[in-house]
Structure 1
């Protein structure tokens, strides 16, 4: 990827990592001038936010707090991996599910 594309999208990519509010802000920032690097991380964070939502809505309710804590810890580690990749300017998919996020949300 071209270095200017990374530099232009890096701010939106990093902002997308900060909860739903940051994701919405990054999405709005990326609407007018689509940046592939920012879109990559927006897709990653949509997926991680969905996992986190499902963890609270389904896993906690049906499997209990221990299972929810484990899923939450794994999601946090994936979030850290993604955030470090955004800071470094690398397209770093989160392990196991990152490729799926890129395919499922490819229109973003």
Structure 2
């Protein structure tokens, strides 16, 4: 597994471009694994999962302001992850970033 390449940075950035982008990044990364690409594929998957789970919980609670707060938090995580990918860094997102690396280490 390579430490960093242009391909790794490309995979890292694409991983944050919607669910379809994440799938494309996963396929690209499986073809030529890099530490940077794998790191951001895991971070992005974690952000997607947290966003979906929190949105389900917010819809069950049925208080609109909670839904807005949830999405604002997910957007902040997404921006932080994307900025890290653009800079070619492996900075985990706050709160659960280290756990994402642990939970999704098979990717």
TM-score, length-scaled by structure 2? 0.91
* Displacement of 1:105: 0.3
- Cα distance in 1, alignment partners of residues 36 and 28 from structure 2: 13
* Displacement of 1:8: 2.6
On the 8 A contact 1:7/1:89 being kept in 2, the answer is no
TM-score, length-scaled by structure 1? 0.90
Deviation string 1:33-83 (CA, Å, 9 cap, x unpaired) is: 211110100000101001111122222222522111111101101111111
Aligned to 2:37: 38
- Cα distance in 1, alignment partners of residues 89 and 49 from structure 2: 23
RMSD: 1.5
Unaligned 5+ segments in structure 2 are none
Aligned length: 106
- Cα distance in 2, alignment partners of residues 49 and 66 from structure 1: 20
Aligned to 1:101: 100
Structure 1 residue ranges (4+ consecutive) displaced by more than 6 angstroms after TM superposition = none
Unaligned 5+ segments in structure 1 are none
Does 2:26 correspond to 1:5? no
